[in-house]
């Protein structure tokens, strides 16, 4: 039996998509920064002309002397943060993920990771659920480009409470951290004081027919999928794999071993994402049939978040279908 997270929200509304409470995960970034500002004098925040939508605005008002407005200059932002870290600051930088860590990837590689400076990168507006802004503003590659960098830690919080806790936890990591946030209101599935640690996956539901391993807004879709599968007599284990790197291999390998079939789900390109990282672990340690829910090598487009999640196959029903495919392959010995 897997150890189930004690802090999963346990009320009637959790599995009701219409009634569940929804808050954007980026709000958790803003709340976490505000709290860190009070606790840690060395925390500074840099933003590239997006203080409101990245939610760092509250920090800028509470601690104006520790906020640096960069203007539209993400490359400069990454390297200025490196310089600040070199003189004892703990910088948190904020923009949309397409621009940071997208546009400034090389600066992050050389001046932050290779330089071993503890800069924390907050990437907002990830996934197609960004919606009407369209493909230019929907980051779908950021997990891949961050997790391939030595020294980088990659965290994808599943709801607002996790986002707040991940932001606060990042300050004590001695090196660089990438924190990935969504734009839209994301269902809240944990309670505020649920345990959270960077590097630890949490099991939200137990089961041994198939393991649903998800991160970000897709964790909720995986929960709904498990709920639906239960009614068909299929016991799905749901794992919130919030830390993509370093991965909680113990929890992931145990899930593969005990379930024999795995589905990964994320709002990111399948190539190089969280699912790829799981596959890298399982191909070596415990190969089992795997299915991948994510973007299938294409860009998003404009539309309402709900329409886009439906159209690109990022819903609970898609996870259910993938789970059945994985189970069928397991039974067929494929």
Partner 1 sequence: MASLSDEKAQSLEAIAAKIRRDTVEAVIRAGSGHIAGPLDLADIFTALYFHVLKHDPKNPLWEERDRLVLSNGHVCPVQYAAMAHAGYFPLEELKTLREFGSRLQGHPHRPSLPGLETSSGPLGSGLSQAVGMALGFKMDGKKNAVYCIMSDAEQQCGQTWEAAMLAGKHELDNLTAIIDRNNIQIDGMTEKIMPLEPLREKYEAFNWHVLEVDGHNIEAIADVCDEARAIYAKPVVVLAHTIAGKGVDFMEFDFRWHSKSFKPEEAKDALRELRTLGGKIENPHAE
Q: Which residues are catalytic?
A: 74
| Token couple for 192 | 């505020």
Q: Is 65 in the site for partner 1 (CB under 8 A)?
A: yes
Exposed (0-12), middle (13-18) or buried (19+): which is 57, by Cβ within 10 Å? middle
Q: Is 89 in the site for partner 1 (CB under 8 A)?
A: yes
With CB under 8 A as the contact rule, which of the stretches 106-114, 154-162, 206-214, 267-275 interacts with partner 1?
106-114
257: left (phi over 0), alpha (psi -120 to 50) or beta: alpha
Q: Is 44 in the site for partner 1 (CB under 8 A)?
A: yes
Among 25, 60, 95, 107, binds partner 1 (CB under 8 A): 107
Q: How far apart are the first and last CA of the chain?
A: 25
Shortest gap between Cβ of 113 and partner 1 (angstroms)? Answer: 9
Q: Is 110 in the site for partner 1 (CB under 8 A)?
A: yes
Shortest gap between Cβ of 168 and partner 1 (angstroms)? Answer: 22
The DSSP secondary structure of 67-121, one letter per residue, reads: EEE--S-HHHHHHHHHHHHHTT-EEEEEEETIIIIIITHHHIIIIIIITT---EE
The three-state secondary structure class of 197 is coil
| Token couple for 25 | 């995960």
**Residue 61 DSSP symbol:** H
Cβ atoms < 10 Å from Cβ of 193: 10
Q: Is 25 in the site for partner 1 (CB under 8 A)?
A: no
Among 27, 53, 115, 307, binds partner 1 (CB under 8 A): 115
Q: Is 100 in the site for partner 1 (CB under 8 A)?
A: no
* Closest to 74 measured CA to CA, from 43, 47, 54, 53: 47
Q: Is 164 in the site for partner 1 (CB under 8 A)?
A: no
Shortest gap between Cβ of 284 and partner 1 (angstroms)? Answer: 28
Among 14, 45, 70, 262, binds partner 1 (CB under 8 A): 70
User: Residue 75 or residue 126: which is nearer to partner 1 going by CB?
Assistant: 75
With CB under 8 A as the contact rule, which of the stretches 64-72, 134-142, 213-221, 293-301 interacts with partner 1?
64-72
Question: Phi/psi at 15 (nearest 5 deg)?
Answer: -95, 15
Q: Is 60 in the site for partner 1 (CB under 8 A)?
A: no
Q: Is 68 in the site for partner 1 (CB under 8 A)?
A: yes
Residues within the interface to partner 1 (CB under 8 A): 44, 65-66, 68, 70-71, 73, 75-76, 78-89, 91, 106-107, 110-111, 114-116
């Amino acid at each position: 039996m897997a150890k189930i997270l004690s802090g999963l929200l346990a009320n009637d509304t959790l599995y009701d998509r219409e009634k569940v409470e929804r808050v954007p995960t980026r709000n958790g970034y803003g709340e976490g920064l505000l709290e860190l500002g009070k606790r840690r004098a060395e925390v500074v925040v840099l933003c590239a002309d997006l203080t409101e939508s990245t939610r760092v605005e509250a920090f800028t008002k509470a601690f104006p002397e520790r906020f640096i407005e960069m203007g539209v200059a993400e490359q400069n932002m990454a390297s200025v943060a490196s310089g600040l870290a070199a003189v004892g600051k703990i910088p948190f930088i904020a923009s949309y993920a397409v621009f940071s860590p997208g546009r400034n990837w090389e600066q992050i590689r050389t001046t932050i990771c290779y330089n071993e400076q503890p800069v924390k990168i907050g990437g907002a507006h990830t996934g197609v659920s960004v919606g009407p802004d369209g493909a230019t503003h929907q980051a779908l590659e950021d997990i891949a480009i961050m997790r391939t960098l030595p020294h980088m830690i990659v965290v994808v919080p599943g709801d607002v409470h996790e986002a707040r806790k991940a932001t606060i936890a990042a300050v004590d990591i001695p090196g660089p951290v990438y924190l990935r946030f969504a734009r839209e209101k994301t269902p809240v599935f944990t309670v505020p004081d649920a345990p959270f640690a960077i590097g630890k996956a949490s099991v939200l539901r137990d089961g041994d027919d198939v393991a649903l391993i998800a991160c970000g807004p897709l964790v909720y879709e995986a929960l709904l999928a498990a709920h639906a599968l239960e009614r068909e007599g299929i016991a799905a284990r749901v794992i919130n794999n919030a830390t993509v790197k370093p991965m909680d291999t113990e929890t992931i390998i145990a899930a593969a071993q005990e379930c024999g079939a795995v589905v990964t789900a994320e709002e990111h390109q399948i190539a190089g994402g969280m699912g790829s990282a799981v596959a890298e672990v399982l191909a070596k340690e415990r190969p089992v049939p795997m299915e991948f829910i994510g973007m299938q090598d294409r860009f998003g487009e404009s539309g309402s978040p709900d329409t886009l999640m439906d159209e690109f196959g990022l819903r609970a029903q898609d996870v259910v279908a993938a789970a059945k495919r994985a189970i069928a392959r397991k039974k067929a010995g494929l």
